[in-house]
Amino acid sequence: MKRKIINTTYFDSFWYLDFPYTEYVEMCEECEWPVHEENSNGYWQDITEMTERDWDDFNGNMKYGPYKDSPCMITGHLGLWNGRPTIVPVLCDSILEAVKKCVSGRDIDDWEVKTEDGHVSVLAHHHDGTNCFEIHLLSKKGEREVKREKYLYEDFDIKPWWFKKIYGYLF
């Protein structure tokens, strides 16, 4: 069977923008929850709770998924008021650790986590723009090279063959 690269969104804290009020009402009725008026405090409290539950689900699924202990590297750009500087690559022990590093910055308002072209893409939106990160799984060769380069140099001269593709789903 041929392995497939699947591009999909795993978490989007902006999900509610595409969530019509009628669907909210249906969901509340099915779950026997009180229905709040659109844009009321109760409505936004429900939306916030659902977003937090989705984030908790994502975290829980990543802890037990096939890539839970896969070493990886974060690369990317920051969206700042004065330009788009490239970040220094960051090594992580797992994709979940990498995602948390990408979204834990100051003033991050909303974020998305998705797979694109065999790597994880994280978009972290804030008041100045959007930080765009790519999380790449390290191949065995890549792990060896990173360890070697870590001791020789401050900066990494990243090679494309250090990375391997993510096939299928993250969990």
For the chain, the structural domain boundaries read 13-64, 72-164
- The Cα–Cα gap between 92 and 43 comes to 37
Per-residue confidence (pLDDT) for residue 111, from 0 to 100: 95
Percent residues over pLDDT 70 in the chain:
95
Orientation of helix 95-103 relative to helix 41-64, angle to 10° = 150
**Residue 116 in 3-state DSSP?**
strand
In tens, the pLDDT along 57-86 reads 999 999 998 989 999 999 999 999 999 999
Residues 79-137 pLDDT 10s: 999 999 999 899 999 999 999 999 997 789 999 999 999 999 999 999 999 999 999 99
Q: How far is CA 140 from CA 53, 78, 113, 135, 161, in A?
A: 35, 29, 25, 16, 10
Tell me the pLDDT tens digit for each residue of 6-59. Answer: 999 999 999 988 899 999 999 999 999 999 999 999 999 999 999 999 999 999
* β partners of residue 83: 80
Whole-angstrom Cα distance, residue 145 to residue 123? Answer: 28
pTM, rounded to two decimals: 0.89
The neighbour count for residue 31, using CB atoms within 10 Å, is: 7
